[in-house]
């Protein structure tokens, strides 16, 4: 499959053997789109962290580069260094560097890093150019930021600490992306800012998740999806049209690549790419 722009896909580490089989199947099916890389998210707990490490190393051996997400909050330098050495020795060349969130109830950072920019600087200092470093961006503002302007200032500082590229939180407002990119460029930062695309498959899950991560579902979209009630097929069909239009508008606006929150499934992402390829 030829895609209109380069793509990458995001997975989460599965908790069960069945989930792992499902992930491997989706991985195989998504390879048809020649992705630049697959990334695997990283949780707060010890066992989920182990699952990320094992999953990413295995995927990296299956023909397409795989990138672990790596959050630093609550960690010390020695732990991060050991983990990065393990990745480097396993042939991993790209990471998604994040602050992450402390489990609720925990106070302070309790570690050597306060922000993702500290991690980016540390990786560059310690590992030189061994890793391509991706960072997170929030066109609709990080939920804990004081205001959008400050959030963009901190984003630019994080990029200048040594990031190569950024992946955004998902969003459905193209103008938020355009504004964010314009403001970043005005501040003299030119790293690629790759939109994160969330396929719409389950409206109630999307609403809950959007609430938590500060992503806005525009009122007209919300109304259209809500009208579908429990008709999953209709939600998926309307959702597909919304997301295809979003991707087209983003490419038109200059988005250099697309990163899909594929959530260990191939069909919703492939449906979007097939529609995009028809133009």
Catalytic positions, written as ranges: 10
- Tokens found for residue 51: 């699952």
Verify binding: residue 41, ligand FAD, rule CB under 6 A.
yes
- Tokens found for residue 230: 């429990």
Verify binding: residue 51, ligand FAD, rule CB under 6 A.
no
Shortest Cβ 165–ligand FAD spacing (Å): 11
- Tokens found for residue 237: 């069909």
Verify binding: residue 100, ligand FAD, rule CB under 6 A.
yes
User: Contact, 54 vs 66, CB < 8 A?
Assistant: no
Verify binding: residue 55, ligand FAD, rule CB under 6 A.
no
Among 196, 199, 239, 268, binds ligand FAD (CB under 6 A): 196
Select 41 or 269, whichever has its Cβ closest to ligand FAD: 41
Select 41 or 236, whichever has its Cβ closest to ligand FAD: 41
Verify binding: residue 262, ligand FAD, rule CB under 6 A.
no
For residues 111 and 70, what is the distance between their CA atoms, to the nearest angstrom? 14
For residues 88 and 215, what is the distance between their CA atoms, to the nearest angstrom? 34
Q: For ligand FAD, how many residues bind (rule: CB under 6 A)?
A: 22
Query: Interaction with ligand FAD in 110-129: which residues (CB under 6 A)?
Result: 115-117
Please name the residue ranges forming H helices in 73-135.
77-89, 116-127
Among 83, 95, 123, 136, binds ligand FAD (CB under 6 A): 136
DSSP 31: G
Greatest Cα pair distance, the chain, in angstroms, is 53
User: Contact, 261 vs 199, CB < 8 A?
Assistant: yes
User: Contact, 219 vs 226, CB < 8 A?
Assistant: no
The piece of 92-100, 125-133, 215-223, 237-245 that touches ligand FAD (CB under 6 A) is 92-100
Select 153 or 274, whichever has its Cβ closest to ligand FAD: 153
User: Contact, 208 vs 138, CB < 8 A?
Assistant: no
Select 161 or 240, whichever has its Cβ closest to ligand FAD: 161
Shortest Cβ 170–ligand FAD spacing (Å): 8
For residues 172 and 242, what is the distance between their CA atoms, to the nearest angstrom? 9
Coil, strand or helix at 69 = strand
Query: Interaction with ligand FAD in 138-177: which residues (CB under 6 A)?
Result: 142, 144-145, 151, 154, 158, 167, 169
Which residues of the shown chain bind ligand FAD in the complex (CB under 6 A)?
A: 41-42, 69, 71, 96, 98-101, 115-117, 136, 142, 144-145, 151, 154, 158, 167, 169, 196
């Amino acid at each position: 499959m030829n895609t209109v722009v380069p793509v990458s896909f995001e997975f989460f580490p599965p908790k069960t053997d069945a989930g792992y089989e499902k992930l491997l199947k989706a991985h195989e099916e998504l390879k048809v789109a020649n992705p630049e890389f697959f990334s695997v998210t990283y949780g707060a707990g010890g066992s989920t962290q182990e699952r990320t490490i094992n999953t990413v190393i295995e995927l990296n051996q299956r023909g397409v580069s795989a990138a672990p997400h790596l959050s630093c909050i609550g960690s010390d330098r020695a732990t991060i260094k050991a983990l990065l050495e393990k990745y480097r020795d396993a042939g991993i060349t790209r990471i998604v560097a994040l602050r992450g969130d402390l489990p609720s109830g925990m106070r302070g950072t309790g570690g050597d890093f306060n922000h993702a920019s500290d991690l980016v600087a540390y990786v560059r200092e310690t590992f030189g150019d061994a890793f391509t470093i991706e960072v997170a961006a929030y066109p609709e503002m990080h939920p804990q930021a004081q205001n959008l302007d400050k959030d963009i200032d901190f984003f630019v500082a994080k990029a200048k600490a040594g990031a190569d590229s950024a992946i955004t939180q998902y969003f459905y407002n193209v103008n938020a992306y355009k504004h964010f990119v314009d403001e970043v460029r005005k501040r003299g930062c030119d790293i690629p800012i790759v939109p994160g695309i969330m396929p719409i498959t389950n409206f109630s899950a999307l609403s809950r998740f959007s609430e938590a991560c500060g992503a806005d579902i525009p009122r007209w979209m919300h109304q259209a999806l809500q009208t579908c009630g429990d008709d999953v097929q209709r939600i998926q069909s309307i959702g597909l049209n919304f997301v295809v239009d979003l991707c087209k508008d983003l490419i038109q606006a200059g988005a250099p690549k697309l990163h899909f929150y594929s959530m260990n499934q191939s069909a919703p992402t492939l449906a979007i790419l097939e529609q995009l390829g028809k133009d």
